[in-house]
Structure 1
Amino acid sequence: MGLLEGKRLLITGVLMDSSIAFHVARLAQEEGAQVVLTSFGRTMKITQTIAKRLPQTPPVLELDVTSQEDLDSLAERLGEHVDGLDGVLHSIGFAPPGAFDFLSGTWEDVATALHASAYSLKALSVATLPVLQQGSSVVGLTFDAKFAWPVYDWMGVAKAAFESTNRYLARDLGPRGVRCNLVAAGPIRTTAAKSIPGFEQFENTWSTRAPLGWDVRDPEPAARACVALLSDWFPATTGEIVHVDGGVHAMGQ
């Protein structure tokens, strides 16, 4: 029996087969889960094409997490494919180019980053709450927000808000039997990462600082952690951040 046998999962953020979310979806299916993906706008066709590379081609629902209309109809639209949910993966982040210049970033840039990259965790959790079953798991992907990283700027602030949002969700959804946890992955060479100016600064130094080493081309370690948290193997863990970064978070400068 697979680790996720019989589970029904909603997975956001599958854009390319290099994405962590894609590998979560692949591993989840291999472990017995039924998967539904989301995408929106111009990326819908890309996600639908990439979805065909999974062991089973899942349905892809339209979902812009900054659209209240999409969020309000999500539970009903999910009902066309699954009779409930046992887990949700939040793998969403966006910031305009101006947000990657801390001193010059405008409130409009910052507000967009916070809405899409932090508030959306709460919005997605609430939107799926009507169909989330007792014992369900919400898992999000973050990049350790304890530090002021080079080039990350307002997206780093958004990730700090994201991590705080997870703790408040753990508080409020725990009584409903829903666990909320994050995976803090080291830098992975994904489409999203390539959109960050100067991302190569992370690529060039991370493996030298990680006691276990680090491969920026390998999203599977982070994906495995997500799958584990989506399973029943962490029944009493919530509000947590699991680091999958080769150990960099524990090292001094």
Structure 2
Amino acid sequence: MALLSGKRLLVTGVLKDSSIAFHVARLAQQEGATVVLSSFGRTMKITQAIARRLPETAPVVELDVTDTSHLEALPGLLREQLGEDAALDGLVHSIGFAPQGAFDFLAAPWEDVATALHVSAYSLKSLSVACRELLHPGSSVVGLTFDASFAWPVYDWMGVAKAAFESTARYLARDLGPEGVRVNLVSAGPVRTTAAGSIPGFSQFEDTWEQRAPLGWDVGDPEPTARAVCALLSDWFPATTGEIVHVDGGVHAMGA
């Protein structure tokens, strides 16, 4: 039996076929899952086009995680795609955004910081709660992070947002655990994605990561991270929640 046979999954954040989320969706389908994607606004057409590059074209539902009306409508949209009585076995949070001003730590205005926190951290809670009525014992929520244990060059308020994101996951694990829902994160090394491209100076990570990683690191290969996400979506981690799995070539464990 395939790893995700019969699973029904919502995967957010598919913008390009180079994105981690795209490869999660691809691998999940190859492992037997039914996948629904989300997008919104001007990116809807882009995501719909990218969805046709999957092994099976996936439906795309509209979702802006900062829009309460979108969150309220989400369960109904998922039922339209999965069936009225369908449950949701897995939810992948691959959403992050910060205005350019948030990448100047000392000068960033609150408005830019608030946007980064809302989209990149609070949305994990709002999305999980929006899907709560469809989740069931055995369901898995998996988010993508970039290790917030350190102050990284250029990352600034996005790094703070990731720290909040990681804390949010732990509190969600606490509150959804009694319902049998697991919440875990995958901390990926730098991968050339749309989100990475919006970070000024991101090449600083690319230039040094492979040198520091005991296993080496390929910034152009999102598949190792996608495999970890799919593993956490599966039934093979039934007693793991509140965890951060590092897929970074081992950099997190190394000293200076």
TM-score by length of 2: 0.98
After TM superposition, give the deviation of residue 229 of structure 1 in Å. 0.1
Cα offsets for 1:8-52 (capped at 9, x unmatched)? 000000000000000000000000000000000110000000000
Q: Given the alignment of the two structures, is residue 141 of structure 1 paired with residue 121 of structure 2, yes or no?
A: no
Q: Does 1:24 align with 2:31?
A: no
Aligned residue in 2 for 1:66? 66
1:102 and 2:96 are equivalent in the alignment? no
What's the CA shift for 1:191?
A: 1.0
What residue in structure 2 maps to residue 221 of structure 1?
A: 224
Give the 5 Å matches for 1:1-253.
1-82=1-82, 83-253=86-256
CA distances 1:132-168 after superposition (whole Å, capped 9, x unpaired): 1211000000000000000000000000000000000
- Matched letter for residue 21 of structure 1: A
Distance 1:145 1:47 in 2: 28
SS in 2 for 1:221: helix
Structure 2: runs of 5 or more not aligned: none
- 1-side partners of 2:30 and 2:14: how far apart? 17
Q: Which runs of 5+ in 1 are unaligned?
A: none
- Amino acid paired to 1:70: H
- Identical aligned residues as a percent: 78
- Root mean square deviation of aligned Cα: 0.4
Report runs of 4+ in structure 1 exceeding 6 Å deviation. Answer: none
**Distance in 2 (alpha carbons) for counterparts of 1:216 and 1:120:** 26
Distance of 1:158 and 1:48 partners within structure 2: 28
> Residue 76 of structure 1: CA displacement?
1.1
Count of residue pairs the alignment pairs up: 253
SS at match of 1:89: strand
Alpha-carbon shift at residue 222 of structure 1 (Å): 0.2
Q: Structure 1 residue 77: deviation in Å?
A: 1.1
- Separation (CA, whole Å) in 1 of partners of 2:8 and 2:124: 19
